[in-house]
Amino acid sequence: MAQDKVSIRISKEDMEKFNTLASSLSMTKTAVIKKIVNDGFAQTAEITNPTLLDNFEKIQAMLESIEKQLKPLGDNVNQIARKINSNEKFTDQDRKILASDLKILEQASSRFETLSDLISTRTKKTVIKKRGSK
């Protein structure tokens, strides 16, 4: 497929903004333009709240911590399911593991609620729309 080259005139200030946008999205400038062309303007959202932006590392660390907590739970559930499916006895130790796993799930749920509150209360979104659209 043949490709066309597009050139535009843009102020230095707007070019810096464009570079920053592409960088913040971890996309090339070409990919940003293709995304806008293919998905439309209304699909682009920008988070501009500095408090939220400052908290992204904290949010990422919290999500990684939750993920580390939840992985062993899946392993435990699989082991217990195998035991039950093979008609082995469900032991007191299995009950203790399950009770411990439930506590971890409750903690993870609480942390997700904290994250949800943080994001919903500190997010300011700007949607870019085509001229004349509602």
- Per-residue pLDDT tens digits for 2-47: 888 888 899 999 999 999 988 888 889 988 888 888 776 655 556 6
Averaged over 116-131, what is the pLDDT?
58
- Residue 126: the pLDDT is 47
Domain that holds residue 109: 50-122
Residue (of 72, 52, 49, 70) closest to 60 by Cα position: 52
**Rounded distance between C-alpha atoms, residue 55 and residue 61, angstroms:** 10
Q: Are residues 72 and 96 in the same domain?
A: yes
Establish if 23 belongs to a structural domain. yes
Establish if 84 belongs to a structural domain. yes
Establish if 129 belongs to a structural domain. no
Q: Are residues 28 and 60 in the same domain?
A: no
Residue with tokens 């050139």: 7
Residue (of 120, 119, 117, 75) closest to 98 by Cα position: 75
pTM (two decimals): 0.44
Q: Report the relative pairing of strands 125-127 and 45-47 from DSSP bridges.
A: antiparallel
* Percentage above 70 pLDDT, the chain: 78
Count of residues for the chain? 134
Establish if 19 belongs to a structural domain. yes
Q: Are residues 9 and 30 in the same domain?
A: yes
- Residue 81: the pLDDT is 85
Establish if 45 belongs to a structural domain. no
**Rounded distance between C-alpha atoms, residue 66 and residue 74, angstroms:** 13
Any idea which of 27-31, 43-47, 77-81, 119-123 has the lowest mean pLDDT?
43-47
Domain total in the chain: 2
Which CA distances in Å does 61 have to 3, 53, 56, 58, 103?
A: 42, 14, 9, 5, 20
- Residue 46: the pLDDT is 62
- Could you tell me how many helices (H) and strands (E) the chain has, helices first? 4, 2
Establish if 133 belongs to a structural domain. no
Q: Are residues 54 and 104 in the same domain?
A: yes
